[in-house]
Amino acid sequence: MERETHYFWAVRIPDDVKQAIHDELTQIKSIFPFKRWVNLNDYHITLAFLGSVPPQKRPSVIRLVGDAMKSQKAFMLEIEGLNVFGPPKSPRVFWGAVNEEKQLFQLQEIVHKTCVAAGFSLDTRPYHPHITLARKWGGNEDFKMADLVTHNPFKEKILSFQVSEIVLYKSNLESTPKYESIAAFSLLN
């Protein structure tokens, strides 16, 4: 059975920052034994998850989001720390936290509203920007929330980057990396 292909809009993280994140994680992986670590080339910050998109619908959503991006300006973000989603003793997602930059929330709102106007039904939960780093706790002992603070590599080494491009990614779940860029739009400098 073939898996359904999904699409999502996301902030592209620069390659040098992806590598820096990966390098920091390599030093703490033994403390956080998650079962599946995300390939560094797949690091991103999701803006809107579209799900499966019929081929005839792709050109219009690409055009509409591209038009909406024409007046959007680039801005800076910082990776601030680590966190998890899911049960505190056995989390399902390990993620990198970014600072709550107002422009990121505005950008997400524009992309979200544009996709809804293009006919997509999107998640209505509050936006929680993050970089997924690993999935499924695999430790023999319960996960310890205190380790997120004690072993946070980003409290000493601040990683900042310019958000200068958003991308429509396609999921190829059987490939590594999993995400393929379908369309990209630069933000104004």
Name the pTM for this structure: 0.95
For the chain, what are the domain ranges?
Answer: 7-186
Alpha-carbon torsion, ordered 18, 22, 25, 29, to 10 deg: 140
Residue 55 has pLDDT above 60, yes or no: yes
Chosen CATH of 7-186 out of 3.90.1140.10, 3.40.50.300, 3.30.420.40, 3.40.800.20: 3.90.1140.10
Average pLDDT, the chain: 95
Q: What is the DSSP letter of 163?
A: E
H-helix or E-strand spanning residue 113? helix 102-117
Residue from 6, 22, 130, 151 carrying the catalytic annotation: 130
- DSSP helix/strand/coil, 60: helix
**Whole-number pLDDT of residue 23:** 96
In this structure, the number of other CB atoms found within 10 A of the CB of residue 1 comes to 3
Instruction: Please confirm, yes or no, whether 130 is among the known catalytic residues.
Output: yes
| Average pLDDT rounded to a whole number, residues 70-87 | 96
Instruction: Please confirm, yes or no, whether 6 is among the known catalytic residues.
Output: no
